[in-house]
Amino acid sequence: MMTTYELQRLVRQQHPPCVSIYLPTHRHHPGTEQDPIRFKNLVSRAAELLREKYRSQDVEWFLAPAEELATKQFWQHQEDGLVIFCCPGTQAHYKLPLTVQEAVVVSNTFHTKPIVGYLNSNRHYFVLSLSKNDVQLYEGSMSGLGRIELQSLPKELRDAMGEFKARAILAGGAEEDNLPSPPGQDRRKRDRNGKREIVKYFRAIDRALRPILRDERAPLVLAGVGYLHPLFREACRYPYLLDHGIESSVAAMPLDRLRETAWGLVSAYESDIETALLEQYVQALKTGCAGNQLLEIAKAAVHGRIQVLLHETGKMIWGRLNPDTGAVSVHEQQEQRDTEDADIIDDLCEMTLLKGGETFEISPNETLAGSPLGAIYRY
């Protein structure tokens, strides 16, 4: 699973040559038959780029782990996108619930801007579904919703309370009404005890989520019967749980409908954030705590001064960035000339994340005055 923490770990391990392969994939036949063919073509393209600088036998050895992914079973269980990263000592692949543009980049650093944009914009969110038979976490985008395995969750739930009582609570009380009351206990006292049990149960869920949502800033949408929502909010410590959730039974809800409903809540939330960030940028400009000049932003990134980096959707700046000084060299013709080149916006996004800042992908607008970048500085 690709998370902010995982991306930071990956970037810290990178050293040249770094190969990044992006492929839009399919969940169903016949697309699943074409995906491995297109993947092999992309691996061949990566090999061609590597051979410009390295021996053929070294290239074959280097790309062997990626080529081993080309098994029928692997391609039968895909989501909407796939990314593969390779560098000496590291090979990793991630399934994504969003469509990516087909691309191969060989450089001194990984090409991570599509991932950064996904992790730090309204294309990335989580849905926690509480139903009668299941507790499930999904990772979603505008176009897809993918299930995340919660290996620690079942044990946490068993520890919290019995299976039948848990199912009754998630069902919305229908089965809970059939639970026998202890001798001498009236209904009101039973209800008070029941709420305490529910909160205890939800705290177990919250503990199981912490390792998965560590360092995340993506919104979390809660889906389940309405009376559970305030109780879960009492137990949950994740700071990006949305104030409004999906208040209905989700047991029989189709996945597409769950995604569509969640996306409506997330897009409204993120639209408000983008507006607020642009207003913050305009105010920070007045005090010298913001800017849109590439060289100034690069030097600020190197020194960890960037609080929020704004970058326009789809824009790239091909050239080179010195990670020690912030010096930049921009190509007159905007294309990758060799493996030493990189997308400078990509590198600045990585650097900002590694130094504890945030990045946010924005739609084209006039606020940045024609620049594809804008930064709000800490000082």
Give the integer Cα–Cα distance in Å for 255 and 332.
Answer: 47
- If asked whether residues 264 and 131 sit together in one domain, one would say yes
131 and 251: one domain?
yes
Crossing angle of the two packed helices 187-213 and 228-235, in degrees rounded to 10: 50
One domain for residues 253 and 231: yes
> Which CATH number belongs to the domain containing residue 200 in this structure?
3.30.420
Place 275 in a pLDDT band, splitting at 50, 70 and 90: very high
Question: Has residue 243 got a pLDDT over 60?
Answer: yes
- Domain termination site, one of 209, 243, 271: 271
- CB contact at 8 A, 145 and 97: yes
At 90, is the secondary structure helix, strand, or coil? strand
H-helix or E-strand spanning residue 319: strand 318-321
In a shared domain, residues 307 and 203: no
Distances (CA, A) of 252 to 118, 213, 221, 249, 267: 29, 26, 18, 7, 24
Alpha carbon distance 44, 48 (integer Å)? 6
Q: Do residues 350 and 271 make contact, with C-beta atoms less than 8 angstroms apart? A: no
Indicate whether 28 and 160 sit together in one domain: no
With bands split at pLDDT 50, 70 and 90, how would you rate the model's confidence at 161? very low
* Contact between residue 153 and residue 248 where contact means Cβ atoms under 8 Å apart: no
Residue 120 lies in a domain: no
Query: Above 50 in pLDDT, residue 367?
Result: yes
Q: What is the pTM of this model?
A: 0.67
Q: Is residue 281 part of a domain?
A: no
Question: Looking at the structure, do residues 216 and 307 belong to the same domain, yes or no?
Answer: no
**Domain contains 38:** yes
Question: Are 188 and 104 members of one domain?
Answer: no
pLDDT at 99 over 70: yes
Q: Between 223 and 151, where is the model more confident?
A: 223
- Give the count of beta carbons closer than 10 Å to the beta carbon of residue 13: 14
- Together in a domain, 97 and 186: no
Strands 135-140 and 145-148: antiparallel
Mean of pLDDT over the chain: 84
Is residue 19 one of the residues assigned to a domain?
A: yes
Question: Is the same domain home to 175 and 51?
Answer: no
**Same-domain pairing of 84 and 33:** yes
Please identify, among 113, 147, 181, the residue that sits at the C-terminal boundary of a domain. Answer: 113
Domain region containing 50? 4-113
Q: Are residues 131 and 264 in the same domain?
A: yes
pLDDT of residue 303: 96
**H or E segment at 307?**
strand 306-312
282 in any annotated domain: no
- Domains in the chain: how many in total? 3
Calpha distance 256→233 (Å, rounded): 25
Structural domain includes residue 276 = no
